[in-house]
Chains A and B, each alone.
Chain A
Amino acid sequence: MAGQRLLMKGTEAIAEAAIRAGCHHFFGYPITPQTEIPEYMSVRLPPLGGTYLQAESEVAAINMLYGAGGAGVRVMTSSSSPGVALMSEGFSYLVGAEVPAVIVNIMRGGPGLGNIAPAQGDYLEMTRGFGHGDMHAIVLAPSTVQEAVDVMGLAFDLADEYRNPVVVIGDGLLGQMMEPVSFPDTEPKVFDKPWATTGKAKSRPRNITNSLYLDADQLEAHVRDLDVKFQRMDVEQRAECWMTDDHPEIVIVAYGTMARIAKTAIRQLRAKGLSVGLYRPITAWPFPSRALEPLVEPTRAFLTVEMSLGQLVQDIRAQVGRRRPVSFYGRAGGVVPTVEEIISQVELLHASLAAA
């Protein structure tokens, strides 16, 4: 019985979901709170004939992705905030050379070495083009262990479809908590990769994985081509609108684990008679503006809640503008806003709207 569902940590589930999405090659370097991902890969990949390699550093790991992804196989790495930051140069190479790969960032408290507690302080770093040069990458932000499983398959598909690396972000809680999960029984999609460096056939010219363009005009043409691709990615917007059908007075904005805490708060607030809903980005980039837009008019005020001192709120303010007030509540350093804190913030906001 019950063979289909497993009780898994977020980190383990992410690793298993990647394997089932056809990723048999992992390069990485351990860091709390995501070390179970490489640990799990080290157990599972060798018997599958895959590659598990603990690199000497994050810089090395991301460049191993460049090689493996360039050869056309599905490949990933995972790390946590400071370790991910080390990968930014290699990440930009992946974008420049159009190499698909998946990078998981289980975020911890920063800046600097910070601590190992859960945080969402890397939102701006991840969504503004994580790396040098004109670049973007799709950023997926799951909220449950099951959703983390679901987005891993999507992440590999999007990476192959756009020939661009894809980022999956989760706060440390998502990585460390355990929940029952099930895995899709579908076979991974197979993409034709005529560009891959798999050995030269006589019938075609050499395939080269490259991001170097010494000629300025050539590089500009390449960057413009990439930009057209980034604009095409806009169709990948994903968001959840929860309890918004009745046009609530206040809409809380949150992503990842923060959105689950917000949902508990919303249930309790609704039981008290307050009118509250949730808008939750699932793609942190492209920012899901199309799902937010219909909420702006009917909502009297927005409250963004984050495990940071205000990052996602910048995207909300950019879109809502002066049409509606957007307030913010956040904790940093690994402190997680509680249900009670959110409730009191909403009650304050509700009182100020009533007084206005």
Chain B
Amino acid sequence: MTSSALDSTLRLRRVTALIGPYGSGKTELSIGLAQYAAHTLVHPDGPIRRVMLGDLDVLKPYFRSREAGARLLADGVGILAPGGALASSDLPIISAELRGTVGRTDTALVLDVGGDPVGARALGSVSDVLSRVEHDLLLVLNRHRPFMDPLDKVLATAALISGAAQLRITGVVSNTHMMDETTVDDVWWGLELSRQVAAHLGVDVRLLALPDRLLPQLRETAERAGPQGLPPVVTIHRHMMPAFLGGVVFEQTAAPDAFRSLSA
């Protein structure tokens, strides 16, 4: 593993930013990715000594990654987000430490960027420092969301987001889901569009994300991946849950392997 790789299996770079419209799953993915990185990458003497999650979501007022802060700290992930009472504000604040952290080669950084082109402007504000380091800008795609189907709509959205971020998209994460009602058909249906989007952008589908419970069915139907096979598969554990779905918000969960990468 080199210092520029977040993980050799996932082959993500040290700084990985997740972008995409609301509801594509950036927050859950970024939490899982950061937890996973903290578990697999951090060694006292290794090139990566700490993992930080940067909450750059200046759009949505609830269910933000900063709300999982205590859980993340327990898992060895530091969080970059407005502190104190400002954490619960709807002010477009970007943590001042972000610019410095981007350049630190001993720190793996996962960035959760707010949905849509307006949200991506937050990332654009650090695009000068980001463009000087190896980074990935991954478009997270959930085909069940409004304006994310068909292809031309996704490409238009992607162009706007990438333009606002002033960075080039380097990969696609296929994360088509319907919350608890996701089926394996949804996963395949989403992957089909993700591949088309990736092909148009000249990049790869870098990850296929799905709920843990669907893994057996994905394996059973693996031939649907076609000759190109599956991209690396990751499972997500949901953190951002309303109270009525699972008791106290954000505090239940998470086995360290809540987010796992699987060699497909």
A-to-B contact residues, CB < 8 Å? 1-3, 5-9, 12, 16, 32-33, 36, 40, 43, 115-118, 172-173, 176-180, 257, 260-261, 263-264, 336, 338-340
Asked if B185 CB lies within 8 Å of chain A CBs, one says yes
Q: Please, how many angstroms separate the alpha-carbon atoms of A338 and B250 in the complex?
A: 12
Q: Does B186 contact A (CB under 8 A)?
A: yes
Tell me which residues across on chain A come within 8 A of B244, comparing CB atoms.
Answer: 257, 260-261, 263-264, 339
B interface residue count range (under 10 / 10 to 19 / 20 to 34 / 35 or more): 20 to 34
Q: Which of B63, B149, B247 contacts A340 (CB 8 A)?
A: B247
Known: A2-B189, A116-B90, A338-B248. A172 touches B179 (CB 8 A): no
Cβ of B23 under 8 Å from chain A: yes
* A7-B177, A176-B63 known; A116+B242 contact, CB < 8 A: no
Considering the complex, give the chain A residue whose CB is closest to the CB of B89.
A116
Which residues of A lie under 8 Å from residue B245 when comparing CB positions? 264
B1 to chain A, nearest CB (A): 35
B24 (CB) vs chain A CBs: closest residue: A7
**Pairwise interchain contact B62-A173, C-beta atoms closer than 8 A:** yes
Whether A7 pairs with B145 at a CB distance below 8 angstroms is yes
Q: Does B60 contact A (CB under 8 A)?
A: yes
A9 B243 Cβ-Cβ under 8 A: no
- B129-156 vs A: 1/0 string, CB under 8 Å? 0000000000000101111010000000
Q: Tell me which residues across on chain A come within 8 A of B61, comparing CB atoms.
A: 32-33, 116, 172, 176
Kindly list chain A residues whose C-beta atoms are within 8 Å of the C-beta of B147. Answer: 43
Q: Which residues of B contact A261 (CB under 8 A)?
A: 243-244
- Asked whether B189 lies within 8 Å of A339 as measured between CB atoms, the reply is no
In the complex, the answer to whether B88 meets A9 with C-beta atoms within 8 Å is: no
Which B residues, 169 to 216, have Cβ-Cβ distances below 8 Å to chain A?
Answer: 177-179, 181, 185-186, 189
Could you pull out 10 A-B pairs where Cβ atoms are within 8 angstroms? A2-B144, A6-B144, A8-B146, A9-B23, A36-B22, A116-B90, A117-B62, A118-B62, A172-B62, A260-B242
Contact of A6 among B62, B145, B243 (CB under 8 A): B145
Since A8-B145, A9-B23, A260-B244 are in contact, a sample of 8 more A-B pairs with Cβ atoms closer than 8 Å, ordered by chain A residue number, is A32-B61, A33-B62, A177-B62, A177-B242, A178-B23, A180-B178, A338-B248, A340-B248
B181 A180 Cβ-Cβ under 8 A: yes
Q: Which residues of B contact A176 (CB under 8 A)?
A: 60-63
Q: Is the CB of A180 within 8 A of B179?
A: yes
CB-CB < 8 A to B145: which residues of A? 6-8
- A331–B90 alpha-carbon span in the complex (Å): 22
Please list the 4 inter-chain residue pairs (A to B) with the smallest Cβ-Cβ separation, ordered nearest first: A260-B244, A32-B90, A7-B144, A176-B62
Residues of B within 8 A of A115 (CB): 88
Q: Is the CB of A12 within 8 A of B247?
A: no
Q: Tell me the complex Cα distance, A12–B185, Å.
A: 25
Q: Which of B56-102 contact A (CB under 8 A)?
A: 60-63, 88-90
- List of A residues within 8 angstroms of B248 by Cβ: 338-340
